[in-house]
A and B are shown apart, each in its own frame.
Chain A
Amino acid sequence: MAVTYKLIQTVTVGSGGAASIDFTSIPQTYTDLLVVYSARTSRSAVYDAFRLTFNGSTTNYSSKYLQGNGSSASSFSGSTSFVSCYVNGATSTSNTFSNNAFYIPNYTSSTYKSLSGEHLYETNATAADMFLTAGLWSNTAAITSISVTSDVGATIVQYSSASLYGIKNS
């Protein structure tokens, strides 16, 4: 029993914005990790994409995505350099932020690391895009850091936030 979620750390971006948000020195005492973002970037488009990477590595990722917006749906494969999630861009409705969550089981194991994600960028309008992510990092190292950056070098804007949770299975 005693399945627990514990907030390890949370951070909110300040007035200057940030190029990336990096969780470092992640404790190795949990079974799984959950990282949650509420974000918006300065990219001059309705949406932007986050690049999620582990331990500073930009190799050996693979991912599949399902996307739907109420009128159409699609699926596609991702980059080998990172796993993505979509967030609000600068031309989305003012003051709206994305919802993103990545679940990373067995992050300390010596096997490859799988992850799943659910995301949407909210525009307070008729259409809103939702995504499901299935990802794999083909690396046997324990995950000690997690980083997100904009796909296009944009700035993560003020009031965006990120929270890292640890989950124990006993």
Chain B
Amino acid sequence: MATKLVVDCSTGEVTEVELTAEEVAQREADAQAWALAEAEREAEATAKAEAKASAVAKLAALGLTEGEVAALLA
């Protein structure tokens, strides 16, 4: 069970307290939201890299040199 550190500044007492069901749910929601955002970011990066590779291949097929392709992409 996940816990939080609670520091009571009036007494100096530090206690480990189990998270409430609401806090556990919030943590899980935060983790899921991040995982989803991360997956979307990775998918977007992959799609962008694939589109770039495809564009480079098509330009090469048209007869452009590597240098010319690089100049276009710069």
Contact = CB atoms under 8 A, between A and B. Distances in A.
| A pairs with B | yes
Contacts, number: 65
Interface in B10-69: 10-12, 14, 16, 19, 23, 26-31, 33-34
Given A16-B16, A19-B23, A152 B30 contact: yes
Given A11-B14, A27-B9, A164-B9, A155 B2 contact: yes
Contacts of A26: 9
A23 B9 contact: yes
B32 to A, nearest CB: 8
Contacts of B29: 153
B33 to A, nearest CB: 8
B30 A150 contact: yes
Interface in A9-37: 9, 11, 13-14, 16, 18-27
Contact of B34 (A9, A19, A24, A152): A152
Interface residues of B, number: 23
B5 interface: yes
A153 B35 CA distance: 11
Given A19-B27, A155-B2, A9 B7 contact: yes
Q: Pick from A8, A25, A153 the residue with the most CB of B within 10 Å.
A: A153
A151 interface: yes
B10 A11 contact: no
A151 to B, nearest CB: 7
Nearest to A155: B2
Contact of A151 (B2, B9, B14, B34): B34
B55 to A, nearest CB: 25
A154 interface: yes
Interface string A126-162: 0000000000000000000000011111110000001
Contacts of B11: 25
A24 B8 contact: yes
16 contacts: A16-B16, A18-B4, A19-B4, A20-B4, A22-B5, A22-B6, A22-B7, A23-B7, A24-B6, A25-B10, A152-B30, A152-B33, A152-B34, A153-B28, A153-B31, A162-B7
